[in-house]
Amino acid sequence: MSTIKPSVLILCTGNSCRSHLAEGILRAAAGDILTVHSAGSKPAGYVHPLAVRVMQEIGIDLAAHTSKHMNEFLSAPVETVITVCGNADQACPVFPGQVNRHHWPFDDPAHATGTEAEILAVFRRVRDEIRRTFEAYADGRRDALKSRVTPN
């Protein structure tokens, strides 16, 4: 059995919010079996401070994350590409060695308006939606790995 973990690339347009939420959650849920990265088709150049804040609330630190362009991963063996917004799905190239592609769109909390409490509520809602989706994905990947290793 190979010791190289499959690589998952999570794409969004700006790589400032949703893709980082998903990267942090998937890495926490399945970092032992997957290599997880995020990038954008038009990177914003920063990670949204409220994304960092709402992830701290669930014990995941995004402080060291940076906004990256998806082209940085074109020469890497990416097994799975997951887009989390409509624009990234349209702009997503095929990566060398790519086996799987998923498109799971989420609202962009960076576009939320209102009071700080209202904006934070949107960030938390999107974080929790991403968490449910990506933890379920991690569970599925873990189950698939077990079924390949364990004879039926």
pLDDT digits over 44-79, tens only? Answer: 999 999 999 999 999 999 999 999 999 999 888 899
Pick the catalytic residue from 11, 36, 60, 92: 92
What is the per-residue pLDDT for 148? 79
Higher pLDDT, 56 or 13: 56
In a domain, residue 152? The reply is: no
Residue 34 sits in which domain range? 7-145
Four-residue CA torsion sign, 130, 135, 136, 140:
positive
Catalytic pick among 8, 12, 22, 26? 12
- 15 within some domain: yes
Residue tagged active-site, from 9, 60, 85, 126:
85
Whole-prediction pTM: 0.90
Q: What is the mean pLDDT of the chain?
A: 90
Catalytic residue status for 17: no
CATH code where residue 101 lies = 3.40.50.2300
Q: How many domains does the chain have?
A: 1
In three state form, how does the secondary structure of the chain look? Answer: CCCCCCEEEEEECCCCCHHHHHHHHHHHHHCCCCEEEEEECCCCCCCCHHHHHHHHCCCCCCCCCCCCEHHHHCCCCCCEEEECCHHHHHHCCCCCCCCEEEECCCCCHHHCCCCHHHHHHHHHHHHHHHHHHHHHHHHHHHHHHHHHHCCC
The answer to whether position 11 is within a domain reads: yes
| 150 within some domain | no
Catalytic, 92? Answer yes
* 44 is a domain residue: yes
